Structure 1
Amino acid sequence: MSDEIDVQLLLQKYKGKYPQGLAGDEQVRSNLPLPFIETTDADVRASGLSDDQVNSWLEYAGWNLWDFILGRASEGESGLIPRQEYETVSFVQQWANYPKFIRILTEELGVDGLLELAKTSRREVGTKVNVTRNWAASVCPILGRGISVDLGFHGANDRREDLEDFIQFGRRLQHGTWGGGPGFVSARGFQVPVLDDDVLATLVAQTKPLEGPTRDAFRKFNAKTELFGFMLHYDCRAGMGDTGPYPLPDGRFAIVRDHFLNETAYPWSGVAEGLPYCVTEVLVFPSDKVTATVNEIMTTFTKPTNYLDYLVEGVAFARDRIDTPMSQLRVLDDAEMESIAQKCQKGTMDMYKTLAKKSRDEKIRDGIMVYTREFLQSHALKVDLWDRFVAEGFDTMTADAEKAWPVLTSGKAAEVLTPVLLFGKGFPNVTSKETQQA
């Protein structure tokens, strides 16, 4: 079999065995030694994991990431930002730096406190304590482990305690959000109906019919706020997130969409001046004309792809500050939606100008700041630990990240990343000393 045929097979099936989507989820889960991607009240409290538990989680996470990356293949980039480079150095940075900080969160809150924190996404919109971070706070640094192993920084059996702590940290966030069962969105049918019924009902009750010019204006608002959030967060989807689909009466369903605009975490955040922290849209569609799935990073995929042509009702809300209570979430009228859209359009152009002045290395370091902050900062802010994180070196580049930089930002990056990201090398299994001796 030629290398070309091997590559094609590995792009079609994870490790040459598991396809994308629901069929792949079913097959990979049926072959796991243990169903450890499902959480229970008891097992999220465990402090030590067996080889089978760890390897079951790693095997599923590897397929899950492969499925996700192939699904993201059509996603555009601005061309101004070296996103692959900053993302992959960030993974190494997270693997080196996050263990200290997930332990601070766990020690300060306890397991029950973490579970309670993860319930936030059930009761709030416009929050980054959400399903995306449940996934990214464990999978991304553990992918950094795979890259580090591949680069020869350490072996697959080294830092076992860090690996176990990451797996359990992610599982605790998932358990707090879902209350048990599969933690990964791909194992929940690619559905993210996370909002509690009463919260959803309050939001949907305020939707209004959209047709003709009003639908066109709503779609322009959606497009301009999405693009601005995307660029503010350095060309990645950390600035947005969908939940749903939520079945509604009369054969309809809703998607609830957050666009994070006035995120003050970054030195370039001045481009967002005058905007609310987040705008949240409720989008209602007829189920007989549109179907939707949502992936691990809360991105909606629809059939047909021109789903906004079928938008029948909608409403937009503003959460003015990151700490604005849900009781103060406010409906945006047409005039303010237009004003926000225009400010976002100007902010996007200002962001392009800002980026054009930066060197490639500066943009990579900025991107690393975004990617490392985005997965834990929201949790730390919510429980008043962010200042401590910063004081204890959260943003400091680690020796391993600096060591990985020349390879991962060079023309040779694809040689390292393709087998790690797509061909199953990103999540190497572990073998305990006892197993090796046996």
Structure 2
Amino acid sequence: MLDYVRLLEANNAIQTVGDDTYWLCVTRTVQESKLFPVPSYMLLSYLCCYYRYPALLRKIESGMRAEELGDRSRAMGGKLGSLPGWGLPTFYFLGREILINFGLLSPADNPEDAAYVADFWRRFKLAYQREDGHINAREFGQRVQNLPHRRIARFHADLIGCKAGDKLHEAAQGFLAAVSQYGFLVSCESRCTLNNTGPYKLGDNREMIVREFTDLSRGDYPWLDGIGDDIPYNNLTVTMEATGCHFYLMDDWGSFESRPEFTAEAVSGVGLYTSDALSDGFEPV
């Protein structure tokens, strides 16, 4: 039953998502993919999400509450990171807006579904970002510090030091470049295979960011059949220590900026882990 309080909360959620999306869009240049019709398939996905999400999310919650999903997602490097957390309500409400603009819906149609999607998202995100107490990166000054102190301490202790020119440093840079480009192709340049969080201060002039790469091996995507079969880990998490720069921006799309500008030479430590819904947290690789 949609009462006045839920209506106010839904309106606030829509405004919050809209403000975040506006900032994310206006801070980027216009780019056109030469490989995939990104705007076309995204517009289609908005409509798909509008029609599917209410029933799908209710089915999910018949087995697990949104807030428990947020807690579990925070404890592993899986697919439900900041970018899917942004996209969950955004795609639904964009689909709704398109249909209203087409004259196929009125703003008064399906208010209970709209309020439920907003409520699911709010509960998931508040649990996922419980450690920093915010609902998105924008609310936290473009930071996402969702990992608990004990996990950061463990990542810090496990870091393997490196410096520009040594074998580990070169291997880490080569791997990050390769897995990033591979992830863009896997997700048809939608970025949903990439998630970054941080920064986490480790000491004077040293910070760590956590970079997560998902859907790397054979899974839901038919175009990975015969390609991802030999990749042993579906999800990989890279912990990266940087010295001499401050990451002042880490947004919900996984983009980051620093002062002075981050370069490969700033990397002074790395770690590598895997995790999934069946693992006991992050396991070293």
Q: TM-score, normalised by structure 2?
A: 0.88
1:332-386 deviation line (CA, Å, top 9, x unaligned)? xxxxxxxxxxxxxxxxxxxxxxxxxxxxxxxxxxxxxxxxxxxxxxxxxxxxxxx
2:75 to 108, 123, 139: 123
Query: Partner letter of residue 239 of structure 2?
Result: V
Aligned to 2:208: 254
Offset of residue 49 of structure 1: 4.7
Offset of residue 193 of structure 1: 0.9
Say yes or no: does 1:170 pair with 2:121.
yes
Secondary structure of the equivalent of 1:238? coil
Instruction: List aligned pairs for 1:30-69, cutoff 5 A.
Output: 48-50=3-5, 51-69=7-25
Offset of residue 119 of structure 1: 0.7
Aligned equivalents of 1:267, 1:304: Cα separation in 2? 42
Query: Partner letter of residue 100 of structure 1?
Result: A
Aligned equivalents of 2:229, 2:32: Cα separation in 1? 24
Say yes or no: does 1:156 pair with 2:110.
no
Q: Are 1:120 and 1:130, in contact at CA under 8 Å, matched by a contact in 2?
A: no
Offset of residue 77 of structure 1: 5.4
Secondary structure of the equivalent of 2:179? helix
Secondary structure of the equivalent of 2:201? strand
RMSD: 2.3
Instruction: List aligned pairs for 1:10-409, cutoff 5 A.
Output: 48-50=3-5, 51-73=7-29, 78-109=33-64, 113-125=65-77, 127-179=78-130, 181-211=133-163, 212-214=165-167, 215-260=169-214, 261-270=216-225, 271-275=227-231, 276-286=233-243, 288-319=244-275, 323-326=278-281, 329-331=283-285
Aligned equivalents of 1:293, 1:259: Cα separation in 2? 19
Identity among equivalent pairs (%): 21
Aligned equivalents of 1:77, 1:322: Cα separation in 2? 35
Number of residue pairs matched? 278
Bigger radius of gyration, 1 or 2? 1
Aligned equivalents of 1:122, 1:55: Cα separation in 2? 26
Query: Partner letter of residue 117 of structure 2?
Result: F
Aligned equivalents of 1:119, 1:315: Cα separation in 2? 23
1:73-100 deviation line (CA, Å, top 9, x unaligned)? 36x5541100011011101110111111
Offset of residue 124 of structure 1: 1.7
More helix by share: 1
Gapped regions of structure 2 (runs ≥ 5) = none
Q: Are 1:284 and 1:313, in contact at CA under 8 Å, matched by a contact in 2?
A: yes
Q: TM-score, normalised by structure 1?
A: 0.59
1:240-284 deviation line (CA, Å, top 9, x unaligned)? 111111111233110010112115111112211211112211111
Q: Are 1:290 and 1:310, in contact at CA under 8 Å, matched by a contact in 2?
A: no
1:49-108 deviation line (CA, Å, top 9, x unaligned)? 54543333322322211111123436x554110001101110111011111111112233
Structure 1 residues 47 and 216: CA distance shift in structure 2, 3 A: farther
Aligned equivalents of 2:197, 2:2: Cα separation in 1? 31
1:165-215 deviation line (CA, Å, top 9, x unaligned)? 111010010122234953122001111111111122222212122221332
Aligned equivalents of 1:150, 1:78: Cα separation in 2? 27
Secondary structure of the equivalent of 1:205? helix
Structure 1 residues 198 and 181: CA distance shift in structure 2, 3 A: closer
Aligned equivalents of 1:108, 1:121: Cα separation in 2? 16
Gapped regions of structure 1 (runs ≥ 5) = 1-45, 332-438
1:306-357 deviation line (CA, Å, top 9, x unaligned)? 43331111122344x6633326x123xxxxxxxxxxxxxxxxxxxxxxxxxx
Aligned equivalents of 1:202, 1:269: Cα separation in 2? 33
Q: Are 1:182 and 1:188, in contact at CA under 8 Å, matched by a contact in 2?
A: yes
